[in-house]
Structure 1
Amino acid sequence: LSIAHALHNKGLPVIGVPKTIDNDLSATDFTFGFQTAVEVATDAIGRLHSTAEAHQRVMVVQLMGRHTGWIALESGLSGGADVILIPEIPYHVDRIAERVRERERQGRRFSIVVVAEGARSADGAASFADATGRYGGIADRVAEQITAATGKETRTLVLGHIQRGGEPIAYDRSLALRFGAAAVRCIREGSLGTMVALQGNRIRAVPLGEAVHEIKRVPADSELVMTGRQLGVSFGD
């Protein structure tokens, strides 16, 4: 969309649609692809519970989310994660370890840790990025830190591009159709240089400049975060 905005500024007729699994566009409530990614991630997290419990391990699941933690947060809550690490809330390894030990004391000898690829520790260290800026390695790093702090055996799963592929769920299909129809209306009405966005229950056209103005990050006091804390989820802070 930043490219679309630049093209519009050069006089090209452009209409944008919010397609990203990260759900990080501030002008729209949801982007299409996000709910499908959450569904895929939730299913994967849920399937790990039985093997984690059977082998009494800590499973560390790395999900997409370089700058924001929406996928990790929503799928972590839905999938029953014990620890969720997102870029917006810097984590302390000792807090993660304490949650793992707390579960041990409760007779639960396994834990599920969900981590967004862009999560960073409180000392400022982020996951590793290569020369192209691609992130990776955070799951292995967190797993090693947990083992060092608790002595627990850990395993990692990097879900990767499977979050982006496959058949979209019904919600995303419907939302994409609504966005597409709204984009055609914008063309007919001459509302160029805009992006179609979901705001409440309506699709609206917002200026591209507004659409790319800022990244929609997870507020530390968001209802989702508060819900997680009430359920005993550790965010490592």
Structure 2
Amino acid sequence: MRVGVLTGGGDCPGLNAVIRGLVRKGVQEYAYEFVGYRDGWRGPLEGDLIPLDIPAVRGILPRGGTILGSSRTNPLGQPDGIRRIKDNLAKDEIDALVTIGGEDTLGVAAKLYEEYGIKCVGVPKTIDNDLSATDYTFGFDTAVGIATEAIDRLHTTAESHMRVLVVEVMGRHAGWIALHSGLAGGANVILIPEQRFDVEQVCAWVSSRFRASYAPIIVVAEGAMPQDGDAVLKDGSLDSFGHVRLSGVGEWLAGEIERRTGKEARTTVLGHVQRGGTPSAFDRWLATRFGLHAVDAVRDGDFGMMVALRGTDIVRVPIAEATARLKTVDPALYEEAGVFFG
């Protein structure tokens, strides 16, 4: 059995742990041969691959990013993209393809399996934790930890200068990072994409905080939107999957707070810092287990399936089911945090 592996979408702490788990178990227990396709779907599109064996995966467990590289290449939007992938997989004698990615990467894998018979097994990856079929995705815990540490540090400078600090974190459609890090970091306001926010109410919370002689910290997800407006866009451009590039809601909100309250406000955009660096212990554990179970799915011929975490068990679910809808923050969970606002 010759197995191809690719990592697509944004980079994420834990990707290398998945690759290591796949290769170690696949080689040692099943005598499989592995190759890695470079830069997400670009690799099988162009036949760009590297050999993966046990020496190649030694020492990569604590490393962030991915040794295979990643990209947001969309083969469904490429001329003859599907034919090129099929031709290259046949040329490279690939019997199965393990795709590690989020909604877009796995959506391509589901289509390739269902419509073209390409034997794919999926592994969920997104720091946003927004894939509905799994309790958690690896990378999320690391991102929350990084954001929480930043919020902890910003409390002291906010209080030293008695100014508002707005912390913008990732989260296009789901506010999991904002909710978890905001609650863990003691934020005074948390704004998420699932709940449009009232700027006047935010300003009222800010004023209340200052009356208590404390400087407020506001955590806002990049996809959060005011009641009477739309998402703040970087430049209106789209990526290859048709997603607009979000950026700037934190800066916009800080400006509105200054204008409406007269209080000084500053913004910190964590951006790609949340994706970088060494994965947390939880993410290493989860990603490793995903890799071990994904290669078992290949052995069982259980294609078109994705490994997922349910409680403490790793289960298999159809890739199409996993990408059918996003997992967003339950309003009841958001309400829990509301006691700390203001």
TM-score interval (norm. to shorter) = over 0.9
- Name structure 2 gaps, 5 residues minimum: 1-105, 239-243
Normalised by the length of structure 2, the TM-score is: 0.66
Structure 1 residue 124 displacement after superposition? 3.6
1:77 aligns with 2:183: yes
1:228 aligns with 2:333: no
Determine the structure 2 residue equivalent to 1:30. 136
1:175 aligns with 2:286: yes
Q: For 1:162-187, what per-residue CA distance to the aligned partner results, in whole angstroms no more than 9, with x for missing partners? A: 10110000000000011001101101
User: Residues 143-158 of structure 1: matches in 2 within 5 Å?
Assistant: 143-158=254-269
Structure 1 residue 226 displacement after superposition? 3.0
Determine the structure 1 residue equivalent to 2:119. 13
Mapped to 1, the partners of 2:178 and 2:112 lie a distance apart of: 33
Mapped to 1, the partners of 2:327 and 2:140 lie a distance apart of: 13
Structure 1 residue 227 displacement after superposition? 2.6
Mapped to 2, the partners of 1:104 and 1:54 lie a distance apart of: 13
Q: Percent identity?
A: 52
Contact 2:231 2:246 in 1 (8 A): no
Q: For 1:122-163, what per-residue CA distance to the aligned partner results, in whole angstroms no more than 9, with x for missing partners? A: 114221242121101111110011111110101111101010
Determine the structure 1 residue equivalent to 2:25. none
1:160 aligns with 2:271: yes
Q: 1:62 aligns with which of 168, 176, 182?
A: 168
Structure 1 residue 229 displacement after superposition? 1.7
Q: For 1:49-71, what per-residue CA distance to the aligned partner results, in whole angstroms no more than 9, with x for missing partners? A: 00000001100111110111000
Q: 1:95 aligns with which of 195, 198, 201?
A: 201
Normalised by the length of structure 1, the TM-score is: 0.95
Match of 2:197, SS? coil
Mapped to 1, the partners of 2:336 and 2:295 lie a distance apart of: 39
Mapped to 2, the partners of 1:128 and 1:213 lie a distance apart of: 25
Letter in 2 for 1:203: I
Determine the structure 2 residue equivalent to 1:214. 325
Mapped to 2, the partners of 1:44 and 1:7 lie a distance apart of: 40
Q: After superposing the two structures, state which structure 1 stretch, 199-208 or 125-134, moved more.
A: 125-134
Mapped to 1, the partners of 2:135 and 2:279 lie a distance apart of: 18
Mapped to 1, the partners of 2:109 and 2:198 lie a distance apart of: 39
Match of 2:294, SS? helix
Letter in 1 for 2:281: A
Structure 1 residue 209 displacement after superposition? 1.1
Q: After superposing the two structures, state which structure 1 stretch, 63-72 or 99-108, moved more.
A: 99-108
Superposition CA RMSD, Å:
1.0
Mapped to 1, the partners of 2:146 and 2:127 lie a distance apart of: 11
Determine the structure 2 residue equivalent to 1:137. 248
Mapped to 1, the partners of 2:335 and 2:330 lie a distance apart of: 10
Mapped to 2, the partners of 1:233 and 1:4 lie a distance apart of: 42
Contact 2:189 2:202 in 1 (8 A): yes
Mapped to 1, the partners of 2:300 and 2:229 lie a distance apart of: 48
Contact 2:138 2:286 in 1 (8 A): yes
Determine the structure 2 residue equivalent to 1:106. 212
Structure 1 residue 233 displacement after superposition? 2.1
Structure 1 residue 8 displacement after superposition? 0.9
Alignment size in residue pairs: 230
Mapped to 2, the partners of 1:20 and 1:128 lie a distance apart of: 21
Match of 2:331, SS? coil
Structure 1 residue 107 displacement after superposition? 1.9
Letter in 2 for 1:123: D
Mapped to 1, the partners of 2:229 and 2:250 lie a distance apart of: 16
Determine the structure 1 residue equivalent to 2:225. 120
Larger Rg: 2
